[in-house]
Amino acid sequence: MTEIIDGNAVAEGIREELTSCVESLASDDERPTLATVLMSPDPASETYVSMKQNDCEEIGIETRDVEIDLDAPASDLFETIDDLNADDDVNAILVQSPVPDHIDYREVLERIDPLKDVDAFHPENVGRLVAGYPRYKPCTPHGIQQLLAATDVETEGKDAVIVGRSRIVGKPMANLFIQKAPGGNATTTVCHSRTDDLASKTREADIVVGAAGVPELIDGSMLTEGTVVIDVGINRVDADNEKGYELVGDVDFESAKEKASAITPVPGGVGPMTRAMLLYNTVKATSLQTDIDVEL
């Protein structure tokens, strides 16, 4: 019987635990605050930001909402980040990507105070993760680690195959899987668009993480019986419905389910966990900045 991993339920459990951490910080007058900065040409970004703000408010995290005109100069964005870095009432900063073409996203990431960098994209935080002493773990791979733990999937000694090598998913996922730590100790292969014979790699895996952004790239024929399948992909494909599209993952759910011992659905798998781990990092950031211990 294949287990369908319920990301909404696991995320809800994490949110409940975080709610008491938030209350404990608030009782010391240190209620966490996340600042979101929106300067994105992608219409979906506005929705993502408001979802993140709602998530925060639901568990008692305060939010600051900064919006910058799309054609404003880069200096406006950098000054905003500088102000938020200097503001002791702001514990966490998130600049929604993508940013307009005239702005160098790398400069944006490097500008954010690493202690407030709850996406964990600043080179200092990336470096700490690679070196084996992460401060913040990037939200999506951290969420996947938590999902695997909640499903009692042991990673130690297992063969993990990640399909995708992006900065935000594939690479940090690999770094977490190879850590000498709980949720790590996996023998890890990272595949990408130049990988020869992808199916021969995924068939060797105990755990497959699909993070390529290619609809239904991984199907049941590419899996071995008993594999744990984590589908990160969120892809819009045309559909004959009111919206004109539907969301599908990087995994062909129906055929993969026939082989998998456990599998995440899309939606309702990794997505809610990514959101929950942003809250986690915001609480952690507040704890680190205030020296108030909370049970994380």
Residues near ligand NDP, by CB under 6 A: 140, 163-166, 168-170, 191-195, 198, 211-214, 217, 232-235, 270-271, 274
* Torsion angle, alpha carbons of 209, 215, 219, 224, to 10: -10
**The one catalytic residue among 55, 117, 119, 231:** 119
Considering the complex, what minimum distance in angstroms separates the CB of residue 76 from ligand NDP? 26
> What b-and-e string marks burial along 21-44, b requiring 16 or more CB atoms within 10 Å of the CB?
bbebbeeeebbbbbbbbbbbeeee
For ligand NDP, the closer of residues 84 and 118 by Cβ is 118
Least distance in Å: CB of 264 to ligand NDP?
A: 9
* Closer Cβ to ligand NDP, 32 or 271, answer by number: 271
Q: Specify the residue, 191 or 294, whose C-beta has the smaller distance to ligand NDP.
A: 191
Q: How far is the CB of 232 from ligand NDP (least distance, A)?
A: 4
With CA atoms as reference, report the closest residue to 272 among 96, 10, 84: 10
Helix/strand/coil for 259: helix
Q: Is the peptide bond before 123 cis (omega within 30 degrees of 0)?
A: no
Cβ-based neighbour number of residue 13 at 10 Å: 12
Identify the residue whose tokens are 């990092």: 281
Distance CA 195, CA 100 (A): 31
The residue at minimum Cβ distance from ligand NDP is 166
Q: Find the shortest distance in angstroms from Cβ 133 to ligand NDP.
A: 24
CB 208 within 8 A of CB 228: yes
Q: How far is residue 184 from each of residues 38, 246, 262, measured CA to CA in Å?
A: 34, 34, 18
**Is 119 known to be catalytic?**
yes
Q: Compare residues 206 and 231 and give the one whose CB is closer to ligand NDP.
A: 231
**184 vs 215, beta carbon nearer ligand NDP:** 215
Minimum gap (Å) between residue 79 Cβ and ligand NDP:
28
Looking at 53, 55, 96, 117, which residue is catalytic?
Answer: 96
Which residue numbers are catalytic?
52, 96, 119
